[in-house]
Chains A and B, each alone.
Chain A
């Protein structure tokens, strides 16, 4: 089976500072890959590179057997097929929830308004926010905003969904509702790459966990191995530190 997305020796630098180097990663259909690692290890940058928001400086990115990186690549076409959800939601504050979701289908896919709105309402229904269709984002809670942001990305029917620490900006009691949606998407077979600090969640949903350290993948494999029995000393040290802070946020997972 060909990979949905494949990264070959991807490298990226901001000026003189290298952020990513030699990243090889292949994600097949229905796979869920979690990127873990300390802050500043390059998780977010890697996701932004896959989505084409940051150009890569070295290596290649292939989507469905098609090269999508490098000079002259059609980034708009790439972004149409790869959705991303940001840590800070980044909803459009001047538009209603419904308009936030229908903007891209209408303007990029040229869908008729009725069709786009019907689809958007179906998505809102699914994330449990049907009654918020005509509300403005500022009036929603963080968890609700993040659910709308996920719906906005899903409205484009992406091949691949990137989730960039989508619960990091939320109050602990709001994390559960967002993870619940991701869990549902996982059950439906959505191909996803998520950067996360939620170790238990990564272990629960993902097929592959990659530990990033200083811009390269130190260790990757099934979650039981990387999170349960890590071989790399750096991974072990990182997990020890994470475990020290984890219990505080763990309550919601037990509730599921």
Chain B
């Protein structure tokens, strides 16, 4: 405990600090403990500790002191939250509510909602399609990078080049070049794709590179004895990847995979740079018409909202899997 929270909400100078027998750390804690309401509980417990100590009941004194410390820390933690919340509210209300009306104008939010949601449906279709395509594509790239033997050397090198290139390129540049460039270049098949399809392609290429690295790290993290056992039974390299390595890797890569998917979902907003009417583009139009940014804030909120259920779903799946293979009934 080093920070001195006095500037925050300290409303009662602690009498306990004056007592000579208190250790330094407890003194600091007690200082914080003066914060209501948990601080008072801490002081109450501390007083109890003193009384027990004077009675010679060391055990009860220690119990009280532990509780006092616990409540003291709790008071500090609460104070930090109150401080942050207070500053936030103060910022929102400053300048005659300028912040609230700029970012959270209810009227603009309500009026923009239909257009924003129509636009967001495009984002949803984009990321769902891209995610579905990224998974097999990234798995193929990762599997190629892990192919053993000299014969696979050329394709391994190709996979490495692809990953290096598309992980390094900014997504917005890839989207820009593919969505504008391919139709101009007039390549057969590719030039005939719609803007939506070209953007999906760009996102799959960029995120395929990231996700393939997640797959590769996941498969490399499976202990070598597992593929060895599979190979010793006569399974081919690909069979051992398919039935033994990949299923164990999948369980480990779900959290980093979720990270990349959230990144992909957010980056669907980049398609507004090539003229697709996604939620961000709609909200920018509304913002410039109404001289108010609330519609853009609304889009941001919608993006956040869709990632939360996904995170909880992954937590649930992970916990269920741990229960099933390690402790629970078969």
Q: Are A and B a genuine interacting pair, yes or no?
A: yes
Interface residue ranges, A against B (CB under 8 Å) = 51, 53, 75-77, 79-80, 83-84, 86, 88, 90-94, 96, 103-104, 107-108, 134-136, 138-139, 152-153, 156
Inter-subunit contact A156/B233 (CB<8 Å): yes
Inter-subunit contact B234/A76 (CB<8 Å): yes
Inter-subunit contact B232/A51 (CB<8 Å): yes
Inter-subunit contact A108/B247 (CB<8 Å): no
Q: CB of B320 within 8 A of chain A?
A: no
Inter-subunit contact B235/A135 (CB<8 Å): no
Look across to chain A and name the residue whose beta carbon is closest to the beta carbon of B237: A76
Which B157-189 residues sit within 8 Å CB-CB of chain A? none
Contacts of A93 in B (CB 8 A): 248, 325
Inter-subunit contact A86/B229 (CB<8 Å): yes
Inter-subunit contact A90/B231 (CB<8 Å): no
Q: CB of B81 within 8 A of chain A?
A: no
Q: How far is the CB of A106 from chain B (nearest CB, A)?
A: 9
Q: How far is the CB of B308 from chain A (nearest CB, A)?
A: 29
Q: How far is the CB of B328 from chain A (nearest CB, A)?
A: 9
Look across to chain A and name the residue whose beta carbon is closest to the beta carbon of B234: A80
Question: What would be 29 A-B contacts, judged by CB atoms less than 8 Å apart?
Answer: A51-B232, A53-B228, A76-B231, A79-B231, A79-B232, A79-B233, A79-B234, A83-B233, A84-B232, A86-B225, A86-B229, A90-B225, A90-B229, A93-B248, A93-B325, A94-B247, A96-B330, A103-B235, A104-B233, A108-B235, A108-B239, A134-B330, A135-B330, A136-B324, A136-B326, A138-B325, A152-B233, A156-B233, A156-B234
**Sorted from nearest, which 3 A-B pairs have the closest CB atoms?**
A80-B234, A104-B233, A90-B229
Look across to chain A and name the residue whose beta carbon is closest to the beta carbon of B244: A92
Contacts of A156 in B (CB 8 A): 233-234
Q: How far is the CB of A95 from chain B (nearest CB, A)?
A: 8
Interface residue ranges, B against A (CB under 8 Å) = 225-226, 228-236, 239, 243-244, 247-248, 251, 324-326, 330
Contacts of A108 in B (CB 8 A): 233-235, 239
Contacts of B230 in A (CB 8 A): 92, 103
Look across to chain B and name the residue whose beta carbon is closest to the beta carbon of A103: B243
What would 16 more interface pairs be, CB under 8 Å, given A86-B228, A108-B239, A138-B325? A53-B228, A76-B235, A79-B231, A79-B233, A80-B233, A83-B233, A86-B225, A90-B225, A90-B228, A92-B226, A92-B248, A93-B325, A94-B248, A108-B234, A136-B325, A136-B330
Contacts of A76 in B (CB 8 A): 231, 234-236
Contacts of B226 in A (CB 8 A): 90, 92
Cα distance A152–B229 in the bound complex, in angstroms: 10
Cα distance A82–B90 in the bound complex, in angstroms: 75
Cα distance A94–B244 in the bound complex, in angstroms: 8
Contacts of A83 in B (CB 8 A): 232-233
Q: How far is the CB of B19 from chain A (nearest CB, A)?
A: 54
Inter-subunit contact A53/B248 (CB<8 Å): no
Which of A77, A91, A104 is within 8 Å of B235, CB to CB? A104
Contacts of A138 in B (CB 8 A): 325-326
Contacts of B232 in A (CB 8 A): 51, 53, 79, 83-84, 86
Cα distance A53–B234 in the bound complex, in angstroms: 10
Contacts of A77 in B (CB 8 A): 234
Inter-subunit contact A103/B233 (CB<8 Å): yes
Look across to chain A and name the residue whose beta carbon is closest to the beta carbon of B248: A94
Cα distance A136–B228 in the bound complex, in angstroms: 20
Cα distance A104–B325 in the bound complex, in angstroms: 21
Cα distance A92–B226 in the bound complex, in angstroms: 7
Look across to chain B and name the residue whose beta carbon is closest to the beta carbon of A136: B325
Contacts of A103 in B (CB 8 A): 230, 233, 235, 243-244
Inter-subunit contact A94/B239 (CB<8 Å): no
Look across to chain A and name the residue whose beta carbon is closest to the beta carbon of B242: A107
Report if A107-B330 is in contact (Cβ < 8 Å); known contacts: A92-B229, A94-B248, A156-B233.
Answer: no
Contacts of A96 in B (CB 8 A): 330
Cα distance A124–B134 in the bound complex, in angstroms: 41
Report if A104-B244 is in contact (Cβ < 8 Å); known contacts: A86-B229, A94-B251.
Answer: no
